[in-house]
Structure formats: C-alpha cells, structure tokens
Structure 1
Amino acid sequence: MDASAAGTGATAARAEAVLSRLQLLVTRKLDGLLQGDYVGLLPGPGSEAGESREYRPGDDVRRMDWPVTARTTTPHVRRTVADRELETWLAVDLSASLDFGTGRWLKRDLVVAAVAAVAHLTVRGGNRIGAVVGTGTGTTAGPTAGRSRFGRRARTAAGPEPTPGAVRRLPARSGRKEAHGLLRAVAGTEIRPGRSDLGALVDMLNRPPRRRGVAVVISDFLAPPQQWGRPLRKLAVRHDVLAIEVVDPVELELPDAGVLELVDPETGGLHEVQTADPRLRRRYAEAAAAGRAAIDAELRAAGAAHLRLRTDSDWLLDIVRFVAAQRHARTRGTTR
C-alpha cells in the first residue's frame, strides 16, 4: 500500500471514529439537555401570517396588525404560523487552517460537531438539510507539512495569496438517514492545502433563490471580512443566518514556549517565532483581538446570530447555552 492510500485510509478511519462519538453525544445528550421541540438552532414563532387578536401587554409591537387596528380602533397583533417544513442550508468552510488544534479537539472536529448538531436540531418533522462544502485546491506555494512543539500543524499569516478552492454541493433532503449521509460526506471530505473562497461559498446559498429558511455558515472566518461580508448581508435579507466560528486559543494568544516553527497549512509558509518575547506576545494578542472584533462587527452588520466554539472548551455545552439564549430572546420579543 502506498503512502497516499495509507493516508486516505487513516482519514476515513478518523472520520468514522469522530462520527461514532458524535452519534452518542448528539443524539443522547443534546436531547437530554434541550427539553422541548426545537425547530432548529434559531427557533422562532414562524413567518407565515395567521389570525389577528387583541394586543396584550408584553406582545411584540413589530407584529402589530395596523389594518385591523385601524378598522376596530383597538390594537391588534398578527399571529404567525411556523412553517411545517424548514429548509436549512450549510456553508461549510474546510480550508487547510481547520486542520489545526492545540486544545481537546482539532478545529475540523468542531466543524463536524457543529454540522451534526445543526442536522440533529433541524431534521425533525420532514425538514430538509443541504450543504455546500468548500476546501483548498491541493496546491501551495511552498512546503505542505510542518509541526510546532505542540505536535499540531500551526498557522501564520505570511505567505503568497492562495488560490480559491473547490466546492462540493450536497442537495437538501429530508430524513435522518439522509442527514447522516450529509454528515458522513462532510466528515469524509479531504482537507487539502490552500484556502477556500468563503465569500463565493456563502454566495452559493443565494443561488438559486430559495424560500425563506435557515442558513448556517461554519468557518474559522480567517479570510478578510471584506471578502465574505457582502454575500453574508445579502443572504441575511431572505434567511435567518447563523455564523458558527471555530477558534483555537493559540489564535488568540501565543503561549510562552520558546522558539516555535510555524507553518501556514494554506500557503506552506514557514517561520520561526520567538514566543518568549513578551512584546511579541502582546502585539500578537492585540492583532488577534482586532481581527476578532472585525469579524464580530461584520456579523452584526449582517444581522447574523453568532456562535463561537473553542477547541479547549465543551462545544456541546456551548451549543446548548446558545440555543437556550436564542429561545429566551425570542420569547421576550427580541431578535438576537
């Protein structure tokens, strides 16, 4: 067996192991922690117009039925009916930067976990779920392998601009068996060197136009915000948008670990960094904080809900807290 076949087999075995753990975690623990019937990660009252009734203190004023109020001279609100079939589309970014992690998980593992959670929470009642998956082109401008003293492949910002990656479309289907097939396809996708075009990936959810539903973008959002911000705002005009950001703690703050050899898996750029320098660590932390602030601002401008998953924390508990907070916000008449 040659090296490429052995690598493919190892990737498939790892994907199967991850899926086996997720089946236990998601199907049992998520149902146990989230009581009640959740339509999805963004539960809401529905969008289809229903009957009108008299206004009561505490009702959302944005649902006022002004024609009925004018005719009866009594304030009325319009009830909404939840769609019985919800269509959810995922934009899954599997750039080479996802093949990294210094915590309990690789960032790639968190992406697969997020897909599993979204599928589990939206596949009920005949709901359909589909995805577009983007990855690198498989070519870089330099070496494609390297490791830090943490034993994981590390990332730097330097290096030539990578070419956009390839995109795979998985059609929307209903049923748990089909959702599991989608999850298996995402988990089995090979992460190749290079960077996917996150903006183009998000824009694929706008074409062809679909009826109102839920759009979920899963990425580390390391691409410049100006690349994906406009497509995301366009997507949010018609759909409820959830952005799931996967983060490793080393991307936020460098540890004091002496000299590290850092390799950018997207470009192959290799650098040695002296992490014992406190001024370097401070500048790194400031730059990382500024980058995350720019991501937060762009997501807020698009009106997208934002869930951040870290490789060093309990992703399942983070998802449960997020869904519970969304439900609480909706019942109080707020959108985010």
Structure 2
Amino acid sequence: MTSVSQLMPDRRIRQLELTITRRLDGLLRGEYAGLLPGAGSELAGSREYRPGEDEVRRMDWAVTARTDMPHIRETVAEHELSTHVLVDATPSMDFGTVELEKRELAVAAVAAIGFLTAGAGNRLGAGILTSEGVRRYPARAGRVHLIGLLRKLLALPRAQEGQQVPLADAIRGLHRALRRRALVVIVSDFLDESDWAREMRRLGTRHQVIAIEVTDPREMELPDVGLLTVVDPETGRKREIATGSRALRERYAAAAAEQRLAVQQGLRSAGAAHVALSTGRDWVADIVRHVHAQRRLALGGRR
C-alpha cells in the first residue's frame, strides 16, 4: 500500500480518501453507513431475549413483565448519524517503526470514519487529546469539514513531554458534552494508566462506542540490535538496554503481552466494539475483517 507518511498533507488526505473509497466503500455503505452496523435508537418492536447473543441493557422490561418472558427492544438505524471521534495525540502516539507512526495510523482511522459516515445530514465532531488538553471541534456535516479536521490532525506538532491529561478525563468530558445519542469512536493506544475503562463503560450506557486500538510491532517485542537507547515518550526518561540478552527480550515480550491483555480486558469490560490496528499490518484489511465479524453477529446473532 502506498505510504502516506512521505506525502504532503493535502496529498496524504487525497491518498487516504482514494484508499478508503476504493477498498471499503462498497463493503461498508448501506442504510447505516458506519464502521459497523449500529443498533440505532428508533424503536421497531420487541422480540424474545436470546441468552449469550443479546445485550441485557437492551431489555424491554415492560414487555417482559406483561409476557413473563424476557424480551429485548429492537431498533432501526437512524436516518441521520452523529459521530464523535476522540483522538489520542499524546506523546506515546509519536512512535512507529514500520511504515507509519501510530499517530499517522490514527489519522487514517479517523479518515475512514469520516469518509464512510459521510452522507446527507450526517455530522462529525472531534476531540483531540494533546499534552495541553482536549481541543474540541463541533459536529458538522460535509466533506469540507472532514478535510479540515484531517488537516488539523496532520498539522499537530510533536506532543510535549511532562504532565499529561488523563484519557479518562477526556472521555468523561466528552460524555458530559454529548446531549443526543451518537456513535463515539475513541482512537488511542490505551497506554494511559487512568481508569479509562470505567469512563468508557459509562459512555456506553447512552452511546454506541467503538474503541480503535493503535499499536506498533516493536511495542510487543524487542529486536536483537545490541545496545539500544530507549526514551519514555510520556516522561522523556532515557535508558540503555542490552537487547542482545535473550532473557531480557523474553521478559519484555511477556510484559508487553500482559499489558495488551489488560487493555483488551478493559475494552471488553467497557462493552465497546474493539478494532485493533497496527502500523505493521494492512489497516484497511483489519477494518474489513472487523466489519465482517460484526455483521455476522448482527444478522441473526450467528457467530
């Protein structure tokens, strides 16, 4: 796939748009044009609850009481979609050892969301979590608005080391700001140590939430390259590591796997749809696989 990191901002955006529309547009467009088919919020009746397939929070208690059988609410997709993205642009996102940095992959994910939810009446809002705080952009419709958001993301300066705004605080602020039901997409590496899972769980009680996890292969394992100087992007602390040590590389891989498992468990506990993207993989193919899986679940609950 053509690298976007070597192009000027406007050409990067155009390349992303072409990639998305050519490879994803036919697959993902439909009555509800999003990254996954949303449950919607317009009531369309009730049906019997299917254990293991249906979410308890969709339970229709009134019908359940009348029939003495558990029922859930069935809904249809909204004709107009309001999407809000929260993009992590803190120092840990300024890392990449393959084709892209994690922040560039985050921009690609936002582009996919924006281009694929574009449509009559659909609006896109954004919050960008930086070292100084959250920059908010109100939800608006149209391609011009989307292109403007992507330009702002590409033009962001490198994040500054030091005190960071917790991801949990950013999610809490977004929850307070949203007045109507929306599709909320959080793009991050989720390396933040705050209790972001609890805030995402609260967010999910009112909104449909997608978590896009962005990683890099070197976060999972160290190469054998001799003495390596590494820098903590959040604090600026430096340390020299002897990567020739097999025992050290194994400890690193075990710790990294434990950390990613904790992230996955946090996202699962929050009830968010999880999309895992890596700078070392075809991110378009990863999105396609995720959508296929979600649509299989949506069609009759078949796994």
Select 1:198's aligned residue among 155, 162, 167: 167
Output one character per residue of 1:275-297: Cα deviation in whole Å (capped at 9) or x when no partner: 11001001101110111111111
Tell me if structure 2 keeps the 8 A contact 1:88–1:213: yes
| Structure 1: 5+ residue stretches without partners | 1-10, 137-164
For 1:183, the equivalent position in structure 2 comes to: 150
Label 1:271 to 1:75 Cα distance change in 2 as closer, same or farther (>3 A).
closer
Counterpart AA for 1:100: F
Label 1:17 to 1:261 Cα distance change in 2 as closer, same or farther (>3 A).
farther
Kindly report the root-mean-square deviation, in angstroms, between the aligned alpha carbons of the 2 structures.
3.1
TM superposition shift of 1:196: 4.1
Tell me if structure 2 keeps the 8 A contact 1:220–1:245: yes
- Aligned pairs for 1:130-149 within 5 A: 130-136=125-131
- Aligned pairs for 1:2-151 within 5 A: 14-34=8-28, 36-51=30-45, 79-136=74-131
Label 1:280 to 1:171 Cα distance change in 2 as closer, same or farther (>3 A).
same
Q: Verify: 1:234 aligned to 2:229, yes or no.
A: no
Output one character per residue of 1:231-255: Cα deviation in whole Å (capped at 9) or x when no partner: 1111111111111111011100111
Instruction: Tell me the percent identity.
Output: 49
Select 2:229's aligned residue among 253, 261, 275: 261
- Aligned pairs for 1:200-219 within 5 A: 200-219=169-188
- The TM-score normalised by the length of structure 2 is 0.86
Counterpart AA for 1:306: H
Tell me if structure 1 keeps the 8 A contact 2:32–2:38: no
Select 1:281's aligned residue among 249, 270, 280: 249
Counterpart AA for 1:275: T
TM superposition shift of 1:26: 1.3
The SS at the match of 1:40 is: coil
Label 1:293 to 1:73 Cα distance change in 2 as closer, same or farther (>3 A).
closer
Label 1:217 to 1:70 Cα distance change in 2 as closer, same or farther (>3 A).
closer
| Structure 2: 5+ residue stretches without partners | none
- The TM-score normalised by the length of structure 1 is 0.78
Tell me if structure 2 keeps the 8 A contact 1:193–1:267: no
The SS at the match of 1:105 is: coil
The SS at the match of 2:100 is: coil
Tell me if structure 2 keeps the 8 A contact 1:229–1:302: yes
Counterpart CA distance in 2 for 1:61 and 1:238 is 14
Counterpart CA distance in 2 for 1:24 and 1:61 is 36
TM superposition shift of 1:77: 7.8
Counterpart CA distance in 1 for 2:128 and 2:268 is 24
Counterpart CA distance in 1 for 2:228 and 2:196 is 31
Counterpart AA for 1:81: V
Label 1:212 to 1:176 Cα distance change in 2 as closer, same or farther (>3 A).
same
